[in-house]
A = this chain, B = another copy of it.
Amino acid sequence: MRFEVLKKDSKTKARLGICHTAHGSFQTPAFMPVGTQATVKGMTPEELEELGAEIILANTYHLYLRPGHERVRRIGGLHPFMHWNRPLLTDSGGFQVFSLNSLVKVSRDGVEFQSHLDGSRHFLGPEKAIGIQQALGADIIMCLDECTSYPATHETAEQSLRITLEWAERCREAHRTPEQALFGIVQGGMYPDLRERSAEALMQIGFDGYAIGGLSVGEDKDTMFRVVAHTAPFLPEDRPRYLMGVGLVEDILEAVQQGVDMFDCVLPTRNARNGALFSRAGKIIIKNAKYADDPLPLDRACSCYTCRNYTRAYLRHLYLAEEILALRLNTIHNLHFYLAFMRDLRQAIAEGRLESFRESLRTPGEPPRIPAGEEDGNPLAPRGRVLFLQKQSCAGAQPNLSKNL
């Protein structure tokens, strides 16, 4: 993998870049839609491309359990398996092992856990995490780490970090596929000294990119951004930085200004399936009775397929009728919202107007590129006021695994 920084913002640490992988390039700052089970829920790969997704993420934990990584390997890897021929990242599986299982047994060797599907017992260690990801064949793979829980004492966070660093070394050693970039993951809880130590130790080992993990786990936003701001400067300039599981577009904007390049989050897709739709003029809960006769699109200023062709009245009907098309149209709209935001953000950095871009989102007035739609068709509604939908954890795991729809 080759990472080029194309431009740096003069007033913040934001940067514009491009990552070249074995399956093509993606521009940064990048948002990666989440395709947990080798599919971004409801979307075809062609639709993702049309929406502007340049890289997507799949979850090693889920694919290891079902269909099994060896099965994916026999088909030729995740790319042909899921018919996605662009850049692909897999996580290590560690996060889901910890977040989806109440009974895990961690040792220096790795972690023992039970499948959420059938209760069968499994073991995941650093070598195995790399082996599974090699079978899956993503362009970017991640080290196994222990995501420090929150809150944690300094001692607990340090102990957890020590294991993560040991595992990082063993992952580096187990890594034998040069066409797959390997990223290290910074841990250390909310403690600046541990974050610094973590970042420096990982750099000593040497990785193709660096992730900031262990955030968006229950801490408040200020704490999270303090950790990001403290950690990012210790990471090498010439490698991409990936803030895992974050978040709302306002969070992405903030982290980009701290020098982060890559993001993933289930919010746009999961909220879509729950009928919670993003718009520049505020949130739309599509089941609300006020939309029953609403002939407007979700957002008149939005150019997505859903907004070009369907009314709120129809989207509400589909949602209440529990139709598959509701999930599709909502997902298209929310992913478009995120991916268009990323395009605008990159353009703003490229044109040296990140500050005005940011201001346009926070204060009433005409946004720089996309005119704000009016919530409920009221042209007098304040604009740019309530950009963001809700505060919510953005971890890749699904709270209710039995209900994917």
B83→A405 contact, CB < 8 A:
no
Q: Are B324 and A404 in contact (CB under 8 A)?
A: yes
Known contacts: A81-B311, A314-B38, A317-B38. The answer to whether A322 contacts B75 by CB under 8 A is: no
Q: How far is the CB of A56 from chain B (nearest CB, A)?
A: 13
Of B310, B320, B404, the contact of A83 (CB 8 Å cutoff): B310
Quote the shortest CB–CB distance from A288 to chain B (angstroms).
Answer: 14
Residue in chain B with minimal CB distance to A332: B44
Complex CA gap A160/B20 in Å reads: 72
* Size category, A interface: 35 or more
Instruction: Select A320's contact among B42, B66, B309, B328, beta carbons within 8 Å.
Output: B66
A331 to chain B, nearest CB (A): 9
Residues of B within 8 Å of A321, CB to CB, are 37, 39, 62, 66, 404
Complex Cα–Cα for A81 and B313 (A): 8
The one of B39, B295, B313 that contacts A325, using a Cβ cutoff of 8 Å: B39
> Which of A271-312 touch B at CB < 8 Å?
292-293, 295, 309-311
* Chain B residues whose C-beta falls within 8 Å of the C-beta of A67 in the assembled complex: 292, 313, 316-317, 320
For residue A323, CB closer than 8 A to chain B, the reply is yes
A229: chain B residues within 8 A (beta carbon): none
User: How far, in whole Å, are A212 and B41 apart by their CA atoms in the complex?
Assistant: 41
Per-position contact with B for A241-261: 1 when CB-CB < 8 Å, else 0? 000000000000000000000
For window 87-120 of A, CB contacts with B under 8 Å fall at none
A324–B325 touching, CB < 8 Å: no
> Shortest beta-carbon distance, A71 to chain B, in Å?
6
Cα–Cα distance between A325 and B404 once the two chains are bound (Å): 11
| Pairwise interchain contact A314-B75, C-beta atoms closer than 8 A | yes
| A66-B404 in contact (CB<8A) | no
Contact A318 B83 (CB under 8 A): no
A320 to B117, CA, bound (A): 11
A44 in contact with B325 (CB, 8 Å): yes
Contact check, B37 vs A328: say whether CB atoms are below 8 A apart.
Answer: no
> Are A324 and B322 in touch, CB under 8 angstroms?
no
Q: Is the CB of B324 within 8 A of A328?
A: yes
The number of times this chain is found in the oligomer is: 2
Interface pair B404/A71, CB less than 8 Å apart: no
Q: Chain B residues near A314 (CB, 8 Å)? A: 38, 75, 81-83
The listed residue (B44, B71, B327) touching A313 by CB distance below 8 A is: B71
Task: Report the Cα distance A62→B317, complex, angstroms.
Answer: 11
A186–B116 alpha-carbon span in the complex (Å) = 55
Q: Are B311 and A75 in contact (CB under 8 A)?
A: yes
CB-defined contacts of A75 to chain B, threshold 8 Å: 293, 295, 311, 313-314
Q: A340 at interface (Cβ–Cβ under 8 A)?
A: no
Q: Is the CB of B82 within 8 A of A39?
A: no
Which chain B residues border A42 with CB–CB below 8 Å? Answer: 324-325, 328
Least CB distance, A135 to chain B, in whole angstroms: 14
Kindly list chain B residues whose C-beta atoms are within 8 Å of the C-beta of A43. 325
Chain B residue nearest to A63 in the complex (CB): B317
In the assembled complex, the Cα of A39 lies from the Cα of B317 at a distance in Å of 10
CB of B318 within 8 A of CB of A39, answer: yes
Which residues of chain A from 10 to 45 have a CB within 8 Å of any chain B CB? 37-39, 41-44
Q: CA separation between A292 and B71, bound complex, in Å?
A: 8
Residues of B close to A322: CB separation below 8 A: 404-405
12 contacts between A and B (CB under 8 A): A38-B317, A38-B318, A41-B323, A42-B324, A66-B321, A67-B317, A67-B320, A71-B292, A71-B313, A81-B317, A324-B324, A324-B405
Pick the 9 closest A-B CB pairs, nearest first. Answer: A42-B324, A67-B317, A37-B321, A39-B325, A83-B309, A322-B404, A39-B323, A405-B405, A81-B314
